[in-house]
Amino acid sequence: MVKFCLTKEKTEEFKKLIKNGTLDPFKLNAMTSAQRRAAFAKYFGDFNAKHINALFESKLLLKHQKKGMINWVKQVGGISEPAKRDFLSRIQRIESILIPEAEAQFLEDFAAHRFGGAITQAEAKKVFEMAELTRVKKAAIPKDSPDGSPEKIEYGTAYVLFKDYVGELKLEKPTLKELLRDPKKLAIELAGSIKGMVATLDNSFFGRQGIKIFYNEPQMWANGLIRSFSDIGKELRGIDAKTPIEADVYSRTRALDGTYNRMGLDVGLDFEEAFPSALPELIPAFGRLFKASETAFSGGAMRLRADYGDKMINLAEEQGVNILDKLEAESIGNLANVMTGRGSIGKLGAIGKELNVILFSVRFLASNFSTLFKGIWGAGKVVVGKVNPRVDPKFAEKQAAKALLKMVAGMTAILVAYEQITGREIEKDPRATNFARIPFGNRYFDISGGVTSVISLAVRLMPTLHNGEWGWWYKSPNGDFKNLFKPGFGQRSVLDVFEDYWEGKLSPVAGALRDIWSGQHFDGSRPSPKSIAKRLITPISVQELTDMLKDPNSEYILISMLLEGLGFSMSTPFSTNWANSDSKEFKAFREQVGLEKFTEANIEYNMIVSDKTNAVTNTQAYKDKSDENKRKAINTIRKDTKKFIFDKFNFTP
């Protein structure tokens, strides 16, 4: 650019014009660039005017505008000191004058700084550095480097740290202050926290969500289980166990080449549905236990999902499946998700967070439905495909069928072996409450991760045959069948069974509402603020332990708790709580003997009834009875026992 200057005569003229007010500096300052140029052109010609104006703007006006802006920023409130400093440095970098069109932009930028929405120089620098480090680490991975190699782990760690930092910068996690200001968010966060609190203090992923892998890839499952304990240990000692898991998964070959993305494998989740909030981590001491449990769950899920996903995608590739095809890859990814307790909920995914407030584990539930129905569908296609070549099942469909078959075979083997070795009978009728559960002490353990309850629901909702009669049959724990289509007064109907299933899947918060509305808890006791609060913050494992402690018939409490802690859900045995009864008889009994003896009597009653029922229901004679007679027999036991107890306490109704 050629240096411009005005001759002495012209500058003298210019000064004169300024001094005598022909050119008013204030008006000139306020003019637009074009107006100012036109004003100069009048006296100095177009060429000179253009240069004078340009020099004025760059040398004088810009400097003063910046000064004005700086003064303004210093005066205006509501902006933090660091943000103010950052914004001031931005002003210093401005190289062109603030024209009206840019003013809005300037103000918006200021507003972003004021609200903490703007990126600061330090943040940008760190992002650039971390991006570069991640790139370098990725480039340093040798070709054919195996998964888990030091180079890959180094890259994975850099990537996770970078990802976490970017996550932090996004400010997506609401602060406590924000939560308090936003009731909806607060409600969701609280519901999530409560769910997390209830789901914690165990290592339940492997016995529930991950149990399907046990039947299909036992070694993979066992490896995951063992490592999860190691993760718990690390977290309890305050060592971050999650980052190494993430680093391992994100640096795997299939993650690097984009296969996981194509598959839609759920390995990049912020939260698993059982632990939707990290708030409980803030609770002193308990927070660490919570974090350990959460890491065991989320880390275990992530690792197992990636392991199984890798296995499936490699197998598909070996079999010549085009894994670059999005549909093929997605179906395999979906299978891996389902097998690790994360089923697809389709369009409901858009309201997943809200749905999570209502249901305990909607995706886990969906995975159980998928395991069953997609497995049957796949098996059907495989069979039909043998006859009709036009029916060609997809790789994932075949694998789903295989997975279901393996699960059924595995469960059958375990159940039958258990039955034969221990001599305790396994319930084989899917209409029964304890279908395919392992009897242990006076409780029944589910080794299917909830799949059998889906089968039971399906079977109870369709007409079936019992003793030659069609009906919607349900088999009680005492072995008698009830036709839900012809419910007696106060008895359950088909709809009740359907509703009960879903009510049982409610989240703790929704469950509390259910109990309030129905006027009773699951055990029949009346809801009170204390009882509701207790249920909302007590981990399931502790609730189960408390129940077992209260139950005099409980056996093998410690082993049972270990199983429960590993995710093998146990059923609660029948018991009657007289305190919940409104009958005059019990009220009178309580008045006569006092609360302590009343409770003692109730416990003894339950113990005797349970013992006698177990003894009777296992006899062949009982099994041969008609349903009506079975019910009568059980009622007789209860009636006789009550009489015995009343006599013992010298009470005459």
Partner 1 sequence: MPIDFNKFLPDTDTSSSSGGIDFDKFIPEERKTPTPPSSEAKFQESNFQSLLSLGLSEEDARKAANQPVGISPIKTRNIEGGGQFKSDFFEGFQTERSGFSTEELDLFAQRDEVKRRDILGTTISELDHIIPLGLGGTNDASNLKTEKAKRSVLDFIRRTPTQYLPQDKRQAGNLVAELAIIKLFQDGDITQLEGVKMIKELKQDPDILDKLEDIAKKVDNVYNMYTGIVGKGVNLLGQGVGYIVGGSAEWLRSSDKEKARKQAELTSKLTGEFGQEVGKNAAELAPVAFVAPLAIDAAIIYAIGQDVRKAAADAGVEYETSQSGLRATEAGIRGLAAKGLEKFGVSPEVSQDLVQKNPLIASGGLFIETLLTAWASRGMTTRMRNQLVNKGLLKGEQVVMTTQQLKDVLKSQGKDIPADLPQGTWRLTQVSPSAKGKLVVPLKQIGVKYKFAEFRPDPLLGTAEVQLTKTNALLAGDTAIQTAKPINFGKFTPTPTIVPTAVVAPFVKPPVTPIKTSTVKPVEPVKPVEIPRAIEPSVVQRVNTETGEKTFQVIPEGQLETFKKLIDDSVKGIAGKNIAGIQTHLTAKTPEAMQQAGFEFKGVAQELEIQAQEKKAAPKVIKVPRSQLPVEPQFGKGEAKPSKLASRLKASYKKLSDAEKELLPEFRSISRESQIRQASKFVEKDIDRALRVLKGQEEAPKGLLHTSIARALFEQAKLKKDLNLAIDLTTFRATRQGQELQMLVGLNKDNPAVILNRITQARVKALTKGDKGKLKVSNTDRASLKKSIKEAQPKKDEWLDFIKEIEC
- Which 220-279 positions form the footprint of partner 1 (CB under 8 A)? 226, 229-230, 233
CA torsion 361-367-370-375 (nearest 10°) is: -150
Decide if residue 383 touches partner 1 (CB under 8 A): no
CA torsion 295-301-304-307 (nearest 10°) is: -100
Decide if residue 145 touches partner 1 (CB under 8 A): no
Write the DSSP string, 591-635.
HHH-HHHHHHHHHHHHHHHHHHHHHHHTSHHHHHS-HHHHHHHHH
Could you tell me the smallest distance in angstroms from the CB atom of residue 233 to partner 1?
A: 8
Could you tell me the smallest distance in angstroms from the CB atom of residue 327 to partner 1?
A: 13
Decide if residue 548 touches partner 1 (CB under 8 A): yes
One symbol per residue from 572 to 611: x for binding partner 1 (CB under 8 A), - otherwise; what is it?
A: ----------------------------------------
Buried b (16+ CB within 10 A) or exposed e, 418-452: beeeeeeebbebbbbbbbbbbbbbbbbbbbbbbbb
CA torsion 362-200-437-548 (nearest 10°) is: -130
Could you tell me the smallest distance in angstroms from the CB atom of residue 286 to partner 1?
A: 16
> Among residues 97 and 579, whose Cβ is nearest to partner 1?
97
Burial of 123 (0-12, 13-18, 19+ CB in 10 A): middle
Could you tell me the smallest distance in angstroms from the CB atom of residue 111 to partner 1?
A: 5
Could you tell me the smallest distance in angstroms from the CB atom of residue 69 to partner 1?
A: 7
Q: 159: which 2 tokens?
A: 């990537």
**Among residue numbers 9 through 28, which ones bind partner 1 (CB under 8 A)?**
11, 14-15, 18-19, 25-26, 28
Note the Cα 424 to chain centre separation in Å: 37
How many degrees, rounded to 5, is the angle at CA 519 between CA 514 and CA 522? 65
Decide if residue 34 touches partner 1 (CB under 8 A): no
Decide if residue 116 touches partner 1 (CB under 8 A): yes
> Among residues 161 and 358, whose Cβ is nearest to partner 1?
161
**Among residue numbers 52 through 71, which ones bind partner 1 (CB under 8 A)?**
52, 55-56, 59-61, 64-65, 67-69, 71
Stretch that binds partner 1, among 2-10, 188-196, 293-301, 464-472 (CB under 8 A): 2-10
Q: Three-class SS string for 316-364?
A: HHHCCCCCCCHHHHHHHHHHHHHHCCCCCCHHHHHHHHHHHHHECCHHH
Cα separation of 647 and 653, whole Å? 10
| Residues 80 and 115: beta-carbon distance below 8 Å | no
Q: If residue 475 lies in a helix (H) or strand (E), which one and from where to where?
A: strand 473-475
Could you tell me the smallest distance in angstroms from the CB atom of residue 177 to partner 1?
A: 12
Which of 98, 355, 405, 579 touches partner 1 by CB under 8 A? 98
Decide if residue 72 touches partner 1 (CB under 8 A): yes
H-assigned helices in 489-556: 494-503, 508-518, 529-537, 540-550
| Residues 444 and 572: beta-carbon distance below 8 Å | no
Which of 136, 283, 462, 495 touches partner 1 by CB under 8 A? 136
| Residues 148 and 248: beta-carbon distance below 8 Å | yes
Decide if residue 41 touches partner 1 (CB under 8 A): no
One symbol per residue from 624 to 643: x for binding partner 1 (CB under 8 A), - otherwise; what is it?
A: --------------------
Could you tell me the smallest distance in angstroms from the CB atom of residue 9 to partner 1?
A: 10
End-to-end CA distance of the chain: 113
**Among residue numbers 280 through 339, which ones bind partner 1 (CB under 8 A)?**
none
Could you tell me the smallest distance in angstroms from the CB atom of residue 101 to partner 1?
A: 5
Decide if residue 29 touches partner 1 (CB under 8 A): yes
Cα separation of 126 and 399, whole Å? 45
Which of 42, 76, 486, 523 touches partner 1 by CB under 8 A? 76
Decide if residue 105 touches partner 1 (CB under 8 A): yes
Decide if residue 566 touches partner 1 (CB under 8 A): no
Decide if residue 493 touches partner 1 (CB under 8 A): no
Q: Count residues near partner 1 (CB under 8 A).
A: 102
Decide if residue 174 touches partner 1 (CB under 8 A): yes
Cα separation of 115 and 83, whole Å? 9
> Among residues 19 and 390, whose Cβ is nearest to partner 1?
19
Q: If residue 440 lies in a helix (H) or strand (E), which one and from where to where?
A: strand 437-440
Q: Residue 219: which residues within 8 A CB-CB, separation 6 or more?
A: none
Which of 80, 140, 315, 384 touches partner 1 by CB under 8 A? 140
Decide if residue 80 touches partner 1 (CB under 8 A): no
Tokens 């139950």 belong to residue: 551
**Among residue numbers 177 through 216, which ones bind partner 1 (CB under 8 A)?**
182
